[in-house]
Amino acid sequence: MVATLERPSPEHRINTETEIGSAIVMSRVIEPAAIVEHVSKVFIQRPLFRRGAVKEVRAVDDVSFAVGRNEIFGILGANGSGKSTLIRMLSTLLIPDSGRVEVFGYDVRRDEAQVKRLINRVSVEASFFKKLSPGENLAYALRLYGRSGPAVRTETYAVLERLGIARDKVSEPLEQLSRGMQQKVAIARALLTSPVLLQLDEPTTGLDPRSKLDVQGFVRELRHGHDATILLCTHDMAEAEALCDRVAILEKGKLVALDTVDGLKRRFGAEMGMRDPSLEEIFIHLTGRSLAEDTEDDNE
Domains of the chain, residue spans: 2-298
User: Among 19-28, 118-127, 171-180, 283-292, which is the least confidently predicted range?
Assistant: 19-28
**Position with higher pLDDT, 61 vs 176:** 61
Backbone conformation region of residue 255, classed left if phi is above 0, alpha if psi is from -120 to 50, else beta = beta
Q: Distance (Å, rounded) from C-alpha 254 to C-alpha 236?
A: 21
**Amino acid (1-letter code) at residue 274:** M
Q: What radius of gyration do the chain's Cα atoms show?
A: 20
Query: Do residues 210 and 134 make contact, with C-beta atoms less than 8 angstroms apart?
Result: no
Q: Distance (Å, rounded) from C-alpha 94 to C-alpha 37?
A: 15
Q: Distance (Å, rounded) from C-alpha 257 to C-alpha 282?
A: 10
Confidence of residue 68 (pLDDT cuts 50, 70, 90): very high
Q: Which residues of 29-41 are buried (b: 16+ CB within 10 A; e: fewer)?
A: bebbbbbbeebbb
Question: pTM, whole model, 2 decimals?
Answer: 0.80
CATH 1.20.1050.10 is right for the domain spanning 2-298 = no
Q: Are strands 14-20 and 246-251 parallel, antiparallel or unpaired?
A: unpaired
Q: Calculate the alpha carbon distances from 227 to 8, 88, 212 in Å.
A: 9, 23, 22
**Position with higher pLDDT, 62 vs 49:** 62
pLDDT, position 240: 92
**CB neighbour list of residue 123: distance below 8 Å, 6 or more residues apart:** 186, 201, 202
**Does 11 have pLDDT greater than 70?**
no
Q: Distance (Å, rounded) from C-alpha 254 to C-alpha 23?
A: 12
Span 79-91, mean pLDDT? 90
16-29 pLDDT, tens digit each: 434 445 577 766 66
